Every structure is written in C-alpha cells, then in structure tokens.
C-alpha cells in the first residue's frame, strides 16, 4: 500500500519538521547558559554609545579622582588634568566570538568561544561583556533560521580599576592587525583573519600621558568593502576583512580615545556667516545608499558597469569641492533601509564620510526608508546626534515610537563677527512614513499638528526674540515628504494664473492627502523657502501664494544611483542654495552627475 499525503497534510508537516529540527539543534548546541544576545540591539548600543543625557551621571569629582589616585599611590604627571580624566573610559581586556543559531527573528542560542592566549582577566566581577549586535555571517534578518556570529569584548572602566586597587599588570588591547606583532611582550589573539594585539600595562601606565591613547577604548564592526569610519578617534582596519565569504565582508574599527578628553567636541558646531561671503547650503536628497556598493536603479544615461554608491560618492565629492558649502542638509532616504538590514550604522557612517571628512556642519531629517534596516528611527537619531559636525537634534517631545517623529529641531546662523547677531533660522521636521489612516488619507504620512505647534512654540518663546526686525533675516524649512501645496500649480490669489515654477515636474507629487496646516505655520514663522526630497524626478521650485506671504517650495531632485529614477530617463542631481546675509537674497541652482561643473536652473527665490 502506498502512503499518500494530501497537500493539506504536507503543508502542516513541513513546518512541523522544521520546527522540531530547530528545537533539537538548539538543545544540542546549548553552550554557556548565561549568554543570550539581545535581539533588540538598543540595550547593547546603550552601553557602546552612551545617551548624551547620561554622560556625567557616573561622573567623578576632582576630589574623588584625587583620593582614588592617592589610595592607589599613583601620581600623574602635570600633563593630566584631573578634571578631564575620563574614568568611564574602557580598557579592553579580552575579545572573542559568539556562534549562534537563530530562528524566527527572535530566538537565538549562542556559545562563546574564548580564544586561547590571553591570561585570565583579573577583576572578573568588574568586567563588562559587550556583544556587538551585528551578525558577521549576514544571516539574521535575511533568513528565518540559520547560523549567526558576533564579536564580543570584555572591558573594564578606568574607574573600576582604580576602585579595585589593581596592583597587577593588565593586558589591554592596543591594536588590531593583519599579522601578529613579533615583540615577545605582546600577546595576539586571532579571530578569523585578524590579530587582536594586547600589551601589559600597570594602572599608572594606563592613566599616564593623557594626550596619547595607547590602548583601544572601543571596537565596532562595519560591513562592506566601501565602509568608512569618519568618527573622531576611530580607526578602521581595512588591510584585511575580519571575515569574508559571507554576505558582506566585515571590518573592525577601533576607537583610541585619550584618557583625559580636552579637545572641544565637534558635535553641534556653530553655524557662522563670514562678512562679505554668502552662506551656501548643499541639499543631498534621496541618496538611497546601502551596505556595500549597492545596485544601480534606472541609471541614466545607462553604462555597462554601474556601481551605485561609488558613482553617487564621486558626484557628491565633485559638488562639495565645487560649492564648498557652509552646511549640508540630508533631506531623507539617505539610507536605503532594505539594503541596510545587515547594519544601518555602516550605511550612515559611509553616507556622512565625505561631509565629515571636509569638516562641514550637516543637518539631517529622516525619510520613509532610512529606518527600514537594522536601526530604528530612534536609534539612528541617537547615533546621528553623536557624530562629528552633526547639527541633528532630538526635541524633548521626540519619542521612540515615532508618534511625534524623531529629529524635530531648529538651527540658526550667526554673524561671525558678532555672535549676538542672528542672520538665518532653519527648521527641520520629521515627515514620518506612510499614512496610518489609509482609508481616509491613502498614501504618505504628514508632519503632525503637534510638530507645527512645537515650532510655533519655539518661535514665540525663543526664536522671535533673537530675530532682528530692522534687517533682513532668512528662514527656511527642511523635511522629506512634500507638503500638499507642492501641487499648487495654479495661483490661489489670482485665479486663472499659474504660479512661477523653475525646474522639472515629471512625476506625480506624492504629497499627503491631508493638510496639517504646515504652510500656514511656516508663513507665520517667516519661512520663505522649503526644501524637500522624496519625489526623485521632480526638481522644481514653485512659488505658492496661498499663505500670508508667498513661499518657494523646492524639491532637491534625487541624488543617489540606488534610488528609482526613470520617467523617460532622469540623471541624478544635487541642489545648492546660496544666501546673501547682507540683503537676505536667496539663490538656487542644481548640478547633474555627468556635468557637475555646469550649474543649471539658476534662479533667485
Ligand atoms: C548568570 O550570570 C549572573 C550574573 O552575571 C549570575 O548571578 C548567575 O548565577 C549566572 N547564571 C548561571 C546559570 O550561570
Ligand atoms: C530598548 O528596547 C527595550 C526592550 O524592547 C524597550 O523597552 C526600550 O524602550 C528600548 N529603548 C529605546 C531607547 O528604544
Ligand atoms: C556682522 O556684524 C558686523 C559687526 O557688527 C557688521 O558690520 C556686519 O554688517 C554684520 N553682518 C551682517 C551680514 O549683518
């Protein structure tokens, strides 16, 4: 007799067999019971990237530091200013790998492979284990079941070592290299292709010479052969990948921070307008970058050998070198989320590299795709607030659940010769993603009334007082999704007439169907120009006259080769704004990828 399974039984049986196999494999591979990787990476990230609000919560007074040093019989040379001694700085005492099975996007069971070679770490009770929540094998997020692998490191804070009165020497990570160092005093630990090099230090040696950093204070993993790490004190090891042969090669980046931080932070730099010079803003819209070189979409004109992100970077580099802007604004979808599932941090750092490397202050708003990778909007925002030259801010109302949006803020430009003289005000708003009331208002979401209320509140309580009334002042607003008024091609004030328009209107404007009163608010705040992205093939500036004052509504035009284009062929473009602080005149133009030296659609707004 032949046993026949109906399709219905097969449909139940196949998943059942898979589930049983997963459970058996997981039980067999139980490993150390105490290791459970956080599936939500924010807990581990909190340890690696302290929330700026937390800094100082575990701070030590100068007196406490002095008495801790005295009880350890350590006298530091005069180059170390106790006030700046960072006792929360980490010293890395061990590294290793965790090999895991994961299933169903939640379950993960790991075993730790402690590498041979390093002596037992003293003060195990004070040692913290940091697991870098990035799967080297590129399986988590791509497959619902499989093997994953993580780098972890053990670390102690300088404060913990001082408190423990550490008298023995400590092996601390000093470098990561492609080959072991020959010195016999160094111990190398090999993880895949790289050697993690440890050196012996006394506690006094760890604290000495505050200007130099001898030891590594943090490590991180980044992915893709084109990854970059432009952060202060970070050094990306590119001579060899840590692990190759999986989805994307993984690389190790090391932070070597001095033990006493004295350098002024490059975060939230002042925006200054120099006398006799115009203030220039380059808007980078819809770069759609991903981990690795990324796929080209609708390249125009088409070539045989297109690599999306390298081509976009070449374009950005040329425009930044030609324009030499005072500020760069990313108007959303700089990160193509579904091509950053492996690691959105790798994409964000790479996107920012050309700007940070040139020491240009940058602001950013999120689009509908940025948070579709490994990091949420909230996590991306926390990261963005800590990066060099960042103007990104979170408002006190911004929440992790995005109800208010994340990244609603204002920045002002001051007169370089008279910092009390405020010359320009820029509003940045999170325009969310997709409409949550699709039946009533299908399509994209909108900037909510409370966000506009917040801007009005800021204006009334802080900004208005700083804005001089007896001379020109320029105000602009930046967000990702266009306002409904971007569709106002016909004049409201003069029926039968068209509003002025410069540039290309090629594709349906995907503004929200609901009008939350944004333009009216912006009119009240004295905003003259808005800049958005989102519609890659629209790049026009339209003067709308429906609010109290006419407002120019501008599109950036898509800049990234990884985003869609089409509509009969659209070359990628980048918009620049130029503001004369003396008379308040605003000029704008664009440049094309293939001919960045030829500006077009120049106009005065
Ligand atoms: C797990 O770790 C905690 C704290 O590190 C410890 O108290 C506990 O006994 C450990 N559990 C097992 C099963 O080893
Ligand atoms: C981090 O994840 C935990 C667990 O899901 C959650 O409760 C917490 O709110 C998250 N924190 C942030 C800052 O998103
Ligand atoms: C900046 O301040 C200086 C000194 O007060 C003044 O001469 C100059 O006109 C100001 N620049 C602008 C653009 O207002």
Q: What digits encode the pLDDT tens for the residues 207-225?
A: 876 667 789 999 999 999 9
* C-alpha to C-alpha distance for 375 and 390, rounded to whole angstroms: 18
- Contact present, 445 and 471 (Cβ < 8 Å): no
Task: Out of 273, 275, 469, give the residue to mutate to test ligand 3, the one with the largest number of ligand atoms within 8 Å of its CB.
Answer: 275
User: For residue 260, what are the β-bridge partners?
Assistant: 85
Contacts of 374 (CB under 8 A, 6+ apart): 41, 134, 141, 340, 341, 342, 343, 344, 345
Q: Is 163 in the pocket of ligand 3 (CB under 6 A)?
A: no
What's the pLDDT score for residue 79?
66
Is residue 457 over pLDDT 50? yes
pLDDT tens digits along 475-487: 999 999 999 999 9
Letter string b/e over residues 160-182, b meaning 16 or more CB atoms within 10 A of that residue's CB: bbbeeebeeebbbbbbbbeeeee
pLDDT tens digits along 391-413: 999 988 888 888 889 999 999 99
Identify which of 445, 583, 447 has the alpha carbon closest to the alpha carbon of residue 518. 447
Give 43 Cα–ligand 2 centroid separation in angstroms: 7
Domain ranges of the chain: 28-255, 279-604
Is residue 420 over pLDDT 50? yes
CATH for the 279-604 domain, from 3.30.2130.30, 3.30.160.160, 3.60.21.10, 1.10.10.60: 3.60.21.10
Identify which of 350, 287, 354, 314 has the alpha carbon closest to the alpha carbon of residue 534. 287
Label the pairing between strands 90-103 and 107-113: antiparallel
**Span 150-161, average pLDDT:** 90
Identify which of 316, 261, 260, 311 has the alpha carbon closest to the alpha carbon of residue 284. 316
Give 288 Cα–ligand 2 centroid separation in angstroms: 27
- Contact present, 455 and 429 (Cβ < 8 Å): yes
Q: What is the value of pTM for the model shown? A: 0.85
3-state secondary structure of 521: helix
Give 111 Cα–ligand 3 centroid separation in angstroms: 64
Ligand 3 atom nearest 418 alpha carbon: 2
In this structure, of 40-44, 120-124, 201-205, 457-461, the range with the lowest mean pLDDT score is 40-44
What's the pLDDT score for residue 241?
97
What's the pLDDT score for residue 36?
27
What's the pLDDT score for residue 59?
65
**508 pLDDT tier (thresholds 50, 70, 90):** very high
pLDDT tens digits along 30-80: 433 323 222 222 333 333 333 333 333 456 777 888 888 888 888 877 766
* C-alpha to C-alpha distance for 546 and 485, rounded to whole angstroms: 8
**Span 522-547, average pLDDT:** 94
Is residue 290 over pLDDT 60? yes
Give 33 Cα–ligand 1 centroid separation in angstroms: 9
Q: Is 582 in the pocket of ligand 3 (CB under 6 A)?
A: yes
Question: Which strand ranges, in their side-by-side order, compose the sheet holding 573-579?
Answer: 362-365, 327-331, 279-284, 573-579, 586-592, 595-604
pLDDT averaged over every residue in the chain: 88
Ligand 2 atom nearest 40 alpha carbon: 2
Q: Is 34 in the pocket of ligand 1 (CB under 6 A)?
A: yes
**Span 425-444, average pLDDT:** 91
Give 125 Cα–ligand 1 centroid separation in angstroms: 11
Query: What DSSP element (H or E) covers 451?
Result: helix 449-458
What's the pLDDT score for residue 580?
97
Which of residues 24 and 455 earns the better pLDDT score?
455
Task: Out of 400, 401, 406, give the residue to mutate to test ligand 2, the one with the largest number of ligand atoms within 8 Å of its CB.
Answer: 400
**Span 529-544, average pLDDT:** 96
pLDDT tens digits along 255-267: 998 888 666 688 9
What's the pLDDT score for residue 522?
95
Query: Which residue carries 């325009």 as its tokens?
Result: 431
Task: Out of 32, 34, 110, give the residue to mutate to test ligand 1, the one with the largest number of ligand atoms within 8 Å of its CB.
Answer: 34
Query: Which residue carries 């200007």 as its tokens?
Result: 211
Task: Pick the ligand that lies closest to the CA of residue 35.
Answer: 1
What's the pLDDT score for residue 211?
66
Task: Pick the ligand that lies closest to the CA of residue 418.
Answer: 3
Q: CA end-to-end span of the chain, whole Å?
A: 84
* C-alpha to C-alpha distance for 395 and 403, rounded to whole angstroms: 12
Percentage of residues of the chain with pLDDT beyond 90 = 63
Task: Pick the ligand that lies closest to the CA of residue 380.
Answer: 2
In this structure, of 37-51, 306-320, 433-447, the range with the lowest mean pLDDT score is 37-51
Which of residues 22 and 84 earns the better pLDDT score?
84
**167 pLDDT tier (thresholds 50, 70, 90):** confident
Q: Take residue 551 and report the two structure tokens written for it.
A: 């407002």
Give 574 Cα–ligand 3 centroid separation in angstroms: 30
* C-alpha to C-alpha distance for 334 and 364, rounded to whole angstroms: 9
């Amino acid at each position: 007799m032949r046993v026949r399974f109906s399709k219905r039984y097969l449909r139940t049986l196949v998943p059942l067999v898979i589930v049983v196999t997963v459970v058996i494999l997981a039980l067999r591979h139980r490993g150390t019971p105490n290791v459970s990787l956080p599936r939500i990476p924010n807990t581990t990230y909190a340890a690696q990237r302290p929330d700026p609000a937390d800094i100082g919560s575990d701070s030590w007074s100068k007196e406490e530091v002095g008495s801790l040093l005295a009880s350890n019989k350590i006298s530091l040379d005069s180059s170390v200013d106790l006030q700046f001694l960072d006792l929360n700085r980490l010293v890395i005492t061990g590294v290793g790998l965790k090999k895991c099975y994961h299933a169903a996007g939640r379950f993960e069971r790991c075993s730790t492979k402690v590498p041979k070679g390093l002596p037992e770490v003293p003060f195990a009770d004070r040692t913290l284990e940091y697991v870098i929540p990035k799967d080297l094998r590129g399986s988590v997020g791509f497959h619902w079941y499989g093997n994953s692998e993580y780098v972890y490191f053990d670390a102690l804070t300088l404060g913990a070592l001082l408190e423990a009165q550490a008298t023995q020497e400590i092996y601390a990570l000093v470098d990561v290299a492609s080959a072991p160092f020959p010195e016999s005093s160094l111990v190398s630990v090999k993880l895949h292709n790289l050697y993690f090099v440890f050196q012996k230090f006394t506690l006094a040696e760890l604290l000495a010479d505050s200007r130099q950093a001898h030891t590594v204070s943090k490590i991180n993993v980044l992915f893709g052969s084109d990854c970059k790490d432009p952060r202060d004190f970070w050094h990306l090891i590119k001579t060899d990948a840590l692990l190759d042969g999986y989805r994307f090669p993984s690389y190790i980046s090391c932070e070597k921070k001095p033990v006493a931080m004295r350098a002024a932070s490059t975060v939230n730099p002042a925006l200054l307008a120099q006398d006799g010079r115009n203030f220039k803003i380059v808007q980078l819209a819809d770069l759609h970058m991903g981990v690795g070189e990324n796929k080209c979409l609708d390249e125009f004109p088409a070539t045989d050998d297109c690599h999306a992100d390298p081509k976009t970077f070449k374009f950005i580099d040329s425009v930044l070198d030609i324009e030499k802007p005072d500020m760069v604004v990313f108007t959303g979808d700089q990160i193509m989320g579904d091509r950053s599932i492996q690691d959105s941090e790798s994409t964000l750092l790479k996107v920012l590299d050309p700007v940070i490397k040139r020491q240009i202050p940058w602001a950013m708003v999120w689009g509908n795709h940025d948070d579709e990778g490994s990091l949420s909007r909230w996590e991306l925002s926390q990261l963005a607030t800590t990066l060099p030259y960042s103007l990104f801010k979170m408002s006190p109302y911004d929440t992790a659940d995005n109800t208010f949006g994340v990244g609603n803020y204002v920045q002002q430009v001051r007169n370089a010769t008279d910092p009390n003289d405020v010359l320009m005000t820029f509003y940045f708003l999170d325009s969310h993603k997709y409409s949550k009331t699709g039946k009533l208002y299908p399509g994209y979401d909108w900037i909510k009334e409370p966000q506009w209320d917040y801007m009005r509140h800021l204006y009334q309580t802080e900004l208005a007082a700083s804005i001089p009334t007896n001379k020109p002042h320029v105000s602009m607003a930046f967000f990702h999704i266009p306002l409904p008024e971007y569709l106002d091609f016909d004049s409201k004030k003069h029926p039968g007439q068209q509003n002025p328009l410069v540039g290309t209107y090629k594709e349906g404007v995907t503004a929200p169907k609901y009008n939350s009163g944004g333009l009216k608010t912006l009119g009240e705040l004295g905003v003259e120009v808005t800049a958005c992205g989102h519609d890659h093939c629209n790049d026009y500036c339209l003067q709308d006259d429906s609010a109290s004052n006419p407002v120019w509504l501008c599109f950036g035009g898509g800049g990234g080769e990884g985003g869609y284009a089409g509509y009969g062929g659209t070359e990628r473009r980048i918009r620049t704004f130029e503001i004369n602080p003396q008379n308040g005149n605003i000029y704008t133009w664009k440049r094309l990828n293939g001919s960045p030296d030829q500006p077009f659609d120049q106009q005065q707004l």
